[in-house]
Amino acid sequence: MTAEKTATEPAQTRSARDWVQVLAKYREPSTWRSIFELAVTLVPFLLLWVLAWMSLSVSYWLTFAIAVLNGAFLVRIFVIQHDCGHASYFNNRTAQDWVGRVLGVLTLTPYDVWKRTHSIHHSHHGNLDKRGIGDVMTLTVEEYRARSPMGRLLYRLYRNPLVLFVLGPSYLFILQNRLPFGLMKSGWRYWTSAMGTNAIIAIGLALMIWAGGLMPVLLIYLPTSVIAGTIGVWLFYVQHQFEDTHWAKPEDWQVHEAALEGSSHYVLPAPLRWLTANIGIHHVHHLYSRIPFYRLPEVLRDNADLAQAQRLTIWESFRSVNLHLWDEKLQKLMSFREARQLYGAL
């Protein structure tokens, strides 16, 4: 199909691959808009940090509450770092890489390590033979049934909400990110990224303890980081783990189809869209990751079909927590209970 035909045909007949050509016109970032978005994110984040520190002499509960609120701004910082990793934030690649590295200290995420693993996620998402890096572990029904009793138990524990959304985020951001997991043998660049980020974090924590003791760490730093990590993991989960998501064997897998069909449009109220920097418009992001986050609403305004595609409300997203196994026959994600009803004892 030619590009000329694609540009004039009705939107509803476009394939996932055709949409890429349509979305290309939204890819250019505005330097001033990017600087503005960075400023209106970092300034409130830093002011809330100062306010939380000042409140230590008033009430520890107030301090904790401010830190929890600031976790939302840290999520927005992470999404800006995320855009830098996709080369969508500034036209100058060097500038955005260094912005990403600095923000990575705040998000506890070594930028170069994350940039590479996240690229792998985008390149292989939905491919059943390419699972394991940058994704939520998902087994097929047959794979689960083939596991030993211990293997099944471990998978059930992994998919338990307490592990996924309470213990998991803290482990991921506080512990796992300290080493370049997945890239341990991929060269000095990723070790430099991880160790350099760790060193700056350690210096920051030491200065914090020197200036205010342990309370700023326990009541400001950790709650802000943990809340942001939990929100981030939840967003990533619901963006890909929903009933009609997309998984396929390599012979049936196509990257653009996987991007559109395997990523949700998480419909959030305006304040939450702002705080999460439009990351809920994930199906468009996966189709064309070079679009800056602040241009994603523009895409939906101009393309009604994309605005209606893959919609997932907050209420509907809660159900996704109970979906655990991919059924290759029915092409849907299902719960352990559904799989047991269909296929017998698990």
Query: Whole-prediction pTM value?
Result: 0.93
- Beta partners for residue 326, in sequence order: 140, 333
Q: Are 118 and 126 in contact (CB under 8 A)?
A: no
Q: What is the mean pLDDT of residues 114-121?
A: 95
Contact 306, 291 (CB under 8 A): no
SS3 248: strand
Domain locations along the chain: 3-143+160-323
Q: Count the alpha carbons within 13 Å of 50 in the hemisphere toward its beta carbon.
A: 6
Q: How far is CA 310 from CA 83, 121, 131, 240, 343, in A?
A: 22, 19, 22, 11, 28
pLDDT in tens, 311-323: 999 999 999 999 9
Per-residue tokens: 132:
């394991």
Judge contact between 90 and 98, C-beta under 8 A: no
Q: Are 54 and 216 in contact (CB under 8 A)?
A: no
pLDDT of 98-116, one tens digit each? 999 999 999 999 999 999 9
pLDDT, average across residues 135-152: 96
Mean of per-residue pLDDT scores for the chain: 94
